[in-house]
Amino acid sequence: MEKHTNNVLAPIDLIVHSANQVLTLGGDAPKRGATQGDLGILRDGAVAIRGERIVAVGDTLDLLALADAHTRTLDARGKIVLPGFVDAHTHVVFAGDRANEFEMRLGVATPLRTWQYLDIQKAGGGIMSTVRATRAATRDDLIAQSRARLDAMLAHGTTTAEVKTGYGLETATELKMLGAIAALAAEHAIDLVPTFLGAHVVPEEFTGREEEYVDLVVDEMLPIIQNSKFRIRNLRKGILNSEFGILNCDVFCDDGAFTLAQTRRILTRAQELGFGLRVHADEFANLGAAALAAELGAASADHLMVTRRDEMQAMARANVAAVLLPGTTFGLGKTNFADGRAFIEENVPVALGSDINPGTCWCEAMSFVIALACRYAKLTPAQAIVAATLNGAYSLGIAEHVGSLAPGKIADVLIADVPDYRHLAYRFGANPIETVIKRGRVISLI
Ligand code: NIG
Ligand code: FE
């Protein structure tokens, strides 16, 4: 009890109590190797909240003794309590949809041909088709379309999400996307961590002039975006990510996207300008991006469906998080899932993301990502839950604020209507999350 509490003398606003299991996850350090599955389970546990923060985590009887007339209580009998999900990789801000391409990939719309994702891209569709829709959308429309997805993510227990740009691919529209992200960060309950992905693909108007597009990203976009971060933060008095204040840069390094040399150039410049680094690595082809992430000390390498053991070892040495996205492999109808067990064996901190995007994976539910990760990416339920919470936070540089249930952390707390943590992975297709508490506020879910 002692080590789980601090500053409990002032009134407590909210106590969630009597949970079958409280998954505390404890601490701020990423869990890796033998500790990847450490859930820190308390039985008949409780969480006490004041304002936006957790003030105590412990036994139900001990914590209920702190309640007074002002304290609201939530009974979690027969249920489990866990930290809000931290979705470490999303493209949730976009306009339009690509249901037509989904049909093409199934071979339904064009029975004579089953299209591959990269073939559609080469034919002018894919990411570029969402770029056209996003360029054409007004900022307000972009916000409205994305807000609906954030609402669904919140209802499924996501309380923090990384969000990438990358459907502008021209300075003005990349800035429009960042503006939309900033506006959503200010209005929406989910805390958002922005990532600039100007190097998502080479836009069609630069076909045959790929290096010129890389020049544009390096010489124009990166410096302007970096300055805009401070403009946005000052204007919004730090509301964008509030205390997080992070801006990342990501590059899609793969066949049909950017080469290793181009990726190195963009990420190196981004690092000089103070961006945190993330990289789309090894989704289709292994171009060496995971090793580059290790060399540059990136925060994460993501996708990792065709990564070698020696590259995993380099990531472990450099403390690069592996962000696995099994929803994307599933969404593409493929079977070469990232080998999560191998990353854990090599001592890489493993995180999970939804990768929600219109092309490969329109999925708002981290519980479904957990279900997939256990069946196909070879994680145990406990390892997957750590990956979807604390390790996601670690990969975003915010593990001191969110990702576990401990005094002082932001009170992002879920009640799931299941008797045992394994049910989060065992069941799928329905939403197990019954109550979402975001920054101490009980969110009403419809
Ligand atoms: O993570 N790989 C690159 N980006 C996305 C796909 C984006 C899209 O198709 O719109 C992904 O799978
Ligand atoms: Fe992605």
Decide the pairing of beta strands 14-23 and 41-50.
Answer: antiparallel
User: What class is the 2-83+404-442 domain?
Assistant: mainly beta
Q: How are the residues of the chain apportioned to helix, strand and coil, as percentages rounded to the nearest 5?
A: 40, 20, 40
pLDDT in tens, 342-375: 999 999 999 999 999 999 999 999 999 999 999 9
Domain limits of the chain? 2-83+404-442, 86-395
Angle at CA 442, nearest 5°, toward 366 and 351?
25
Task: Name the CA dihedral angle for 298, 304, 308, 310, rounded to a multiple of 10 degrees.
Answer: 20
Q: Are 406 and 57 in contact (CB under 8 A)?
A: yes
Q: Are 185 and 437 in contact (CB under 8 A)?
A: no
Strand partners, 83: 413
Q: What is the rounded distance in angstroms from the CA atom of residue 4 to the CA atom of residue 57?
A: 5
Centre of ligand 2 to C-alpha 438, Å, is: 25
Taking the model in full, what pTM does it have?
A: 0.95
Q: Are 399 and 29 in contact (CB under 8 A)?
A: yes
Ligand 1 probe mutation, 98, 100, 197, 200, most atoms within 8 A of CB: 200
**pLDDT digit of tens for each residue in the chain (446 aa)?**
444 455 556 799 999 999 999 999 987 889 999 999 999 999 999 999 999 999 999 999 999 999 999 999 999 999 999 999 999 999 999 999 999 999 999 987 666 788 999 889 888 899 999 999 999 999 999 999 999 999 999 999 999 999 999 999 999 999 999 999 988 988 899 999 999 999 999 999 999 999 999 999 999 999 998 887 655 544 433 333 444 567 899 999 999 999 999 999 999 999 999 899 999 999 999 999 999 999 999 999 999 999 999 999 999 999 999 999 999 999 999 999 999 999 999 999 999 999 999 999 999 999 999 999 999 999 999 999 999 999 999 999 999 999 999 999 999 999 999 999 999 999 999 999 999 999 999 997 75
Q: Are 64 and 428 in contact (CB under 8 A)?
A: no
Handedness of CA 350, 355, 361, 364 (dihedral sign): positive
Centre of ligand 2 to C-alpha 165, Å, is: 10
Centre of ligand 2 to C-alpha 91, Å, is: 6
Centre of ligand 1 to C-alpha 350, Å, is: 20
Instruction: For the domain covering 86-395, report its CATH number.
Output: 3.20.20.140
Q: What is the rounded distance in angstroms from the CA atom of residue 318 to the CA atom of residue 314?
A: 6
DSSP-derived 3-state class of residue 384: helix
Ligand 1 probe mutation, 93, 104, 252, 300, most atoms within 8 A of CB: 252
Other Cβ atoms closer than 10 A to 332: 18
Q: What is the rounded distance in angstroms from the CA atom of residue 91 to the CA atom of residue 411?
A: 25
Q: What is the rounded distance in angstroms from the CA atom of residue 413 to the CA atom of residue 439?
A: 8
Q: Which residues line ligand 1 (CB under 6 A)?
A: 91, 126-127, 130, 252, 280, 283, 328, 355, 357-360
Angle at CA 36, nearest 5°, toward 30 and 39?
90
pLDDT in tens, 273-325: 989 999 999 999 999 999 999 999 999 999 999 999 999 999 999 999 999 99
CB proximity list for 63: less than 8 A, separation 6 or greater: 15, 17, 46, 47, 48, 56
Helix (H) or strand (E) holding 344: helix 340-345
Q: Are 185 and 240 in contact (CB under 8 A)?
A: yes
Query: Fold match between 2-83+404-442 and 86-395?
Result: no
Handedness of CA 86, 90, 92, 97 (dihedral sign): negative
Residue 30 per-residue DSSP state? P
Count helices and strands (H / E) in the chain.
17, 16
